[in-house]
């Protein structure tokens, strides 16, 4: 589990074929304190398992499934990526709950400057519209961001100078592909509402009446 608060950038220093998947060697710009083989590290928002790890380097396998659903298949030696290590129970949850499981690959439609800020517009499959709300949270390449405005098949976010300096958003441009993970809480609520699972007695269901009764609406 992650928070979408990127710790820093890293560089892919090696890419090797591994069956139908890939093996990445990645060098972070920051030291990996207390490195542990098997720990989870988000690479451009994708949760990967470190198969070897040291203070300044780690390797990770990328499965064919992950390559088919994310932008990692387009990475090459020299590519810059956002990195975040898994959250600890004692950490501050500065962003939002991010699973590291990508929902779709979106595309940067436009980048506009507003003073020191940048306004990014993204296109996404319309099937994901229902999970994106104005002023809600969304993870783009593993970065926790707030949705400014959303519409059918797209949305916009504002990037502050700090985020531009510390992440790949600083050099993103129109036409670039990005990994997008919508807010997982919305997906769980939808599943519970549509599945009609019993949660209150034998015949109880989570529905609008139930949510209103307990103060959620």
State pLDDT tens for residues 76-101: 999 999 999 999 888 888 899 999 99
Q: What is the CATH number of the domain that holds 27?
A: 2.40.30.20
In sequence order, the 6+-apart residues with CB closer than 8 A to the CB of 216 are none
Contact between 153 and 124 under an 8 Å Cβ cutoff? The reply is yes
Residue 176 placed within a domain: yes
Residues 77 and 111 in one domain: no
Residue 139 pLDDT? 98
Range of the domain at 45: 8-85
pLDDT digits (tens, 9 = 90+) for 147-165: 999 999 999 999 999 999 9
Asked whether residue 72 falls in the same domain as residue 111, the answer is no
Question: Is residue 202, in this structure, part of any structural domain at all?
Answer: no
Residue 76 lies in a domain: yes
> What predicted TM-score, i.e. pTM, was given to this entire model?
0.87
Q: How many other C-beta atoms can be found within 10 angstroms of the C-beta atom of residue 86? A: 15
CA distances from 175 to 82, 87, 117, 172 (A): 19, 31, 19, 9
User: Which comes out higher in pLDDT, residue 215 or 148?
Assistant: 148
Could you give the C-alpha distances from 187 to 35, 97, 127, 152, in angstroms and in order?
Answer: 33, 12, 12, 18
State whether 172 and 115 are in the same domain. yes
Higher pLDDT, 151 or 204: 151
**How many structural domains comprise the chain?**
2
Does residue 1 lie within any of the structural domains? no
Inside any domain, residue 54: yes
**Bridge partner list, 138:** 145, 182
Do 81 and 131 belong together in one domain? no
199: confidence class by pLDDT, cuts 50, 70, 90: very low
Residue 214, in any domain of the structure:
no
Q: Strands 137-140 and 177-182, how do they pair?
A: antiparallel
Identify whether residues 71 and 137 lie together within a single domain.
no
Identify whether residues 169 and 129 lie together within a single domain.
yes
When the pLDDT of each residue in the chain is averaged and rounded to a whole number, the result is 92
């Amino acid at each position: 589990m992650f928070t979408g608060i990127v710790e820093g950038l890293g560089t892919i220093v090696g890419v090797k074929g591994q069956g139908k998947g890939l093996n990445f060697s990645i060098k972070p710009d920051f030291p990996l304190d207390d490195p542990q083989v098997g720990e989870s590290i988000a690479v451009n928002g994708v949760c990967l398992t470190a198969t070897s790890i040291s203070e300044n380097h780690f390797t990770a396998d990328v499965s064919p499934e992950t390559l088919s659903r994310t932008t990692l298949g387009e990475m090459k030696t020299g590519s810059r990526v956002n990195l975040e290590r898994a959250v600890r129970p004692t950490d501050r949850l500065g962003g939002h709950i991010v699973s590291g499981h990508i929902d779709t690959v979106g595309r940067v439609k436009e980048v506009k400057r507003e003073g020191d800020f940048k306004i990014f517009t993204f296109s996404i499959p319309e099937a994901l519209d229902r999970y994106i709300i104005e002023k809600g949270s969304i993870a783009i390449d593993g970065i926790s961001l707030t949705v400014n405005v959303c519409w059918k098949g797209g949305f916009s976010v504002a990037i502050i100078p700090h985020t531009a300096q510390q992440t790949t958003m600083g050099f993103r441009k129109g036409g670039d592909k990005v990994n997008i993970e919508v807010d997982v809480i919305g997906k769980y609520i939808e599943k519970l509402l549509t599945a009609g699972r019993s949660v209150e007695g034998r015949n109880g269901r989570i529905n609008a009446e139930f949510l209103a009764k307990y103060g959620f609406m």
